Amino acid sequence: MDVFRIEGPVRLSGRVPVNGSKNAALPIMAAAILAEGQSSLVSVPNLSDVRVFVELLKSLGCRVERQAQGDMLIDSTVIDNPVGDYEIVRKMRASICILGPLLARCGRAEVSMPGGCAIGDRPINLHVRGLRQLGAEIHLKNGYVIAEAPHGLTGASIFLGGSFGSTVLGTANVMMAATLARGRTVIESAACEPEITDLANCLNDMGARISGIGSPRLVIEGVGQLNPVRYTVIPDRIEAGTFMVAAAITNGELELTNCRLDDMMAVVDKLRSIGIAVESKGDGCTVVGTGKIIPADITTQPYPGFPTDLQAQFMALLALAQGNSLVIEKIFPDRFMHVAELNRMAADLRKEGPAVVVAGVEKLVAAPVMASDLRASAALVLAGMAAEGTTTINRVYHIDRGYERIEERLNPLGAKIRREKAP
């Protein structure tokens, strides 16, 4: 198991390209199941989550080949084992998004209940309800979701709103299944995230007929078949946001390329409100720390609101603000496992139910800390670069799920991060 040793404080400066989006790539890889033949996906990041999904696709019968510069070939001519095995699915929650396309393509799917980050309860009841409304018979047996539609699926009007907003993967699952259903499907309270928009655009390139893309009302006219596609995955807005915070927390100056600011308006607005300069430039932007962090209140919300996947990173930044801030988590109320670890680094954070009161401190101090999930580990890396001394982060396999060799990308910019084997 690897650990990071991070020397700080440092100041980051330079240019960094943003990779393709993990959260867009995984459902698009699942969508390749819907079309017999070979699809080519461009700008797929080389992450541990992506490698797990490749393993999953191969177990279904697909042939998958990783090429240079992020290209990936997925040949789904043969799907002879429509089973998402527990030993693979338990590693990553996004594995559940094979359920819809397998059901539509094969008429049957068996998928283990998913695993993933320990950030609170994330049930799949909305996935199941949506697929049932398309005509699937679904039951749970031995920890597997077993879905059957031997005579095909039929379009329906489906509401996908939940207690904490729209379901992103649920929208992906139902939308993919509906592309091959008979008749029209209307999804109300569909997720509007850019990753869902990207999936819908990819499906349309494959021959689907989806309208209302980017809105909470999707209309899908079922078609008889989909075709293989060549498609480029959008840039990762969460990785971009993490690099923006890296510039801010180190009082640095970074130029981000391949960064779509239109997908990040809530993030950019919040950075500017706390004193960070963000300016559009070419296909990206420049981010400049000003040496002063103004306190702020942040409430996570479904897109286009502030993303839950950047909550931990911004909390590390606000820990150094000149005053008190409030962070409210409305997507995953238990997503605060990083609070105790940041407090070990001399932050002053107090959890109050689904909120954290952040009292700004003059400086952070290095300490040994433990990564608990993907975005929490990113927050600890950010804090380590700003803290005085050498911070040791254990369990960095979490960060490898969503950031490709992050130390090799930050070190040329001025970071001092060493990856070592744990003693």
Q: Among 132, 140, 137, which Cα is nearest to 150's?
A: 137
d(CA 389, CA 410): 18
Q: How far is CA 112 from CA 141, 256, 405, in A?
A: 9, 39, 29
Contacts of 229 (CB under 8 A, 6+ apart): 32, 35, 39, 40, 202, 205, 206
**Structure tokens of 210?**
């989806």
- For 81, 100, 126, 135, the CA distances from 111, given in Å and listed in that order, are 11, 10, 15, 18
- C-alpha of 356 from chain center: 22
Beta-carbon contacts of residue 399 (< 8 Å; ≥ 6 apart): 371, 374, 377, 378, 381, 406
* Single-letter amino acid, residue 229: V
Q: Which of 300, 252, 260 is nearest to 276 (CA)?
A: 252
Is 97 a residue of the active site?
A: no
Q: Which residue in the block uniquely carries the two structure tokens 């680094």?
A: 345
55 half-sphere exposure, CB direction, 13 A CA radius: 15
Identify the H or E element spanning 74: strand 72-75
- Structure tokens belonging to residue 239: 């990785």
283: which 2 tokens? Answer: 């296909």
From the list 117, 192, 259, 285, the catalytic residue is 117
The residue whose two tokens read 């992103």 is 168
* Cis before 307? omega within 30: no
Report the alpha-carbon distance of residue 78 to residue 84 in Å, rounded: 15
Please give the positions annotated as active site.
117
